[in-house]
Amino acid sequence: MDPKNPSRKIDYGFLALLLLLSALGVAVLWSASYGGGDGETASFASKQIRWILFGIAAMFATASVDHRKLVQNAYIIYGALLFLLLLVLFLGKISMGAQRWLSIGPLRVQPSEFMKIGMALAVAKYFAELPVKPPYGLKDLGGFALLAGAPVVLTALQPDLGTAILVAAVACSVTLFQGVRKRAIFTLMAIAGAAAPLFWSFLREYQKKRILVFLNPELDPAGSGYHIIQSKIAIGSGQILGKGYLEGTQSHLRFLPERHTDFIFAVMAEEWGFIGSLLVIALFLVLVLWGLDIAAKARDSFGRLLAVGVTSILFFHVFVNMGMVMGLLPVVGVPLPLFSYGGSSVLTTYIVAGILLGIRMRRFAN
C-alpha cells in the first residue's frame, strides 16, 4: 500500500464493529419504545438512524483531518466548547430540571457531551508539550488542574454531575497514562477524602437522595429508588436466554422509566438475557481494547495520548451506564454509547471513532 495515501489504510475491522453495535442499538431502541400506539416506536428508531448517518459523515470528516494538525487547534476547540458550556448556563434549554442543551434551529445540542473530546484534545496537547518528563509531581500538575477544573465546574453547575465526573475521568486517564508519582496520587486522594463533606454540602437534594437510594433502594421505592428497583427486576427476569425480542414486559408495560435512554441496557437484558448481555459487553470490551491498541501503535506522543483520552470516553460511558443500571453505581444519567437515544451522544461516539481511525491510518506516516 502507498504510505502517502492513508485513506487506503482504513481499519475496516474497527469500522465493522462500530456499525454492528449501532445496528444492535437501533434494534434494542425499537423494542424499548415498541407498542406505544402513538408512533413513538418509529420516531425514536428513525431519528436514531438519522443521527447515526450524521455520525458516520462526521466520523469520516474527522478521520480525514491529520491529528497532528489538531494539536495546533486543540486549545481553540477546548476554548470554544468552554464558551458553549458558559452559554448554556444563561441561554440553555431547561428539561427535566436540568439546563444542559442549546437549541440550534430544530436541533438540541448538549455541549457537555462534546466537551469530553475537547478535554481529551487539550490534555493530550498539554502533556505532549510539557517540558518536564513523567512521572509528574504535584507542582507539575498545576496547569492541568486549571485545564480540567473549569469544564468540570461548569458542567456540574447545569447540573449534570454524571457528565462532570466523566469529563474529569477523561482528564485523569490521560494523566495517569503519562505517569504520576505515587506520593502525588496519595496526596490527591487524601485531599479528595478531606473535601468529601464539602462536596456533599454542594450537592442538590435530589443528588444526595440518589446516593442514599443507591446504598438502599428500598429507602424510597416509589420515588428515587423506583428506577433501580424496576431496572433490577427487568435484568433479573431476563435470566439466561431472555424473554425474546419485543417480549419484555417491564418496558412494554411502561414499568421501566427512561427505557429508551439511560436504562436501555435493562430492556436488552430482559429480552436477550444473560447471554445476550454478555455478548454486548464483550463487543464493547473489544471496542475499548481496539482503541488502546491504536494508542499503543501510535508513533507520536500527541496521537498516543489523544487515543487514550478518547478511548477512555467510550470505556467510562459503558462502565458507568451499565453499573448504574445494575445498581452497582448511583444513577447519574449517563447514556450507553450507540444504544441510548440521543443525537449528541451518537455524534460524540462517532467523532471519537473518527479520531481513532485517523490515528490508525497515519501510524506509518512520516
In a domain, 269, yes or no: yes
pLDDT digits (tens, 9 = 90+) for 61-83: 999 988 888 888 899 999 999 99
Asked whether residue 1 falls in the same domain as residue 113, the answer is no
Q: Are 308 and 267 members of one domain? A: yes
Residue type, 324: M
* Domain shared by 170 and 119, yes or no: yes
Report the distance separating Cα 184 and Cα 189, nearest Å.
9
Task: Say if residues 277 and 237 touch (Cβ distance below 8 Å).
Answer: no
Residue listed under C-alpha cell 431519528: 47
- The answer on 99 and 49 residing in a single domain is no
For the chain, what is the domain count? 2
Domain containing residue 289 = 1-64+214-366
- The answer to whether residue 39 is domain-embedded is yes
Q: Cell numbers for 244, please give them.
A: 425474546
pLDDT in tens, 198-256: 877 777 777 787 788 777 777 777 777 888 889 999 999 999 999 998 888 888 888 88
Beta-carbon contacts of residue 252 (< 8 Å; ≥ 6 apart): 34, 35, 246
Q: Is the pTM of this model over 0.75?
A: yes
CB-CB neighbours of 203 under 10 Å: 15
Domain membership flag for residue 181:
yes
- Give yes or no: residues 42 and 102 share one domain: no
Q: What share of the chain is helix, strand, coil (3-state, %, to 5)?
A: 70, 5, 25
Tell me: do 173 and 321 sit in the same domain: no
Q: What 8-state DSSP symbol labels residue 100?
A: E
* Residue 14 in grid coordinates: 474497527
Same-domain pairing of 116 and 25: no
Residues of the chain falling short of pLDDT 50: 1-3, 37-39
Q: Which domain-ending residue is among 202, 233, 251?
A: 202
Q: In terms of domains, do 106 and 32 share one?
A: no
